[in-house]
Chain A
Amino acid sequence: MGELNEFSLAVRLFLKSYPWRRIDPVPWTPLRKPLAECRLALVSSAGFVLPHQPHFDESIRGGDPSFREIPCDTNVQTLIETHRSESFDHTGLRHDPNLAFPIDRVRELAEEKRIGSVNRRHLSFMGSITAPGRFVRDTVPEAARWLVQDSTDVALLVPV
């Protein structure tokens, strides 16, 4: 299960002393209508890119704060996983990207009318960002604006 014990001693010590960013106050947008009428977008931090997109840059100290747009009609098997962390097993993600970017599952939910629709685009980050200043200041507000422009109602966010 997801526990600190999964990691090496060095990683555990880093995580124990890491100054996590506390969200305060906690913002809150209640659901305004039934999910069956909502447009849903996915946000994944597994570092997925499409074949024509640049990979996330492992050389950036503190982590690459950029993001990639993944269109809604993407064949999930074309996604390339570029997460830089060596602290977890990547086998499952490479076998089935739905594990952290469940676009096939979301399409099925729309077909079943559990949700209203699938947004036209989704967001992919590489979540190994130890210094999130630029990420929070620049990248995240821009990414959020994209989904607001799309009239997205709800977002499902999946880390690895």
Chain B
Amino acid sequence: MCNQAVCLVAAELERQGVSTVVIQLLREVAERVRPPRALFVPFRHGYPLEAPGDARRQHAVIEAALRLLEDGTRQPPLLADFQHC
């Protein structure tokens, strides 16, 4: 449900002119709900940025999400997989 909730917020933000990127923990939900930009991460529920207390690993996920925002070549809905560096 959490995955859907952030997708619905993202859609409204985009309608009102704010660029968004959502983290997604369930690929099936992202494919069905279709948020504008989504980064699918292969982590357990409750761990969207992977590692509590680990700034480096949290930054890696956030950086991957920010790069989706900067990718001007793709069309919505954009769903990308997080790749470990």
Contacts and interface: CB of A to CB of B under 8 A. Distances in A.
Contacts of B5: 45, 125, 127-129, 132, 135, 159
A31 B19 contact: yes
A31 B36 CA distance: 12
Given A22-B34, A98-B49, A145 B16 contact: yes
Instruction: Enumerate the 4 nearest inter-chain pairs by beta-carbon distance, A residue then B residue, closest first.
Output: A127-B2, A2-B25, A88-B45, A159-B2
Nearest to B10: A157
Contacts of A63: 1
B9 A26 contact: no
Interface of B: 1-29, 32-36, 41-49, 51-53, 55, 58-59, 62-63, 65-66, 69-70, 72, 75-77
Contacts of A127: 1-6
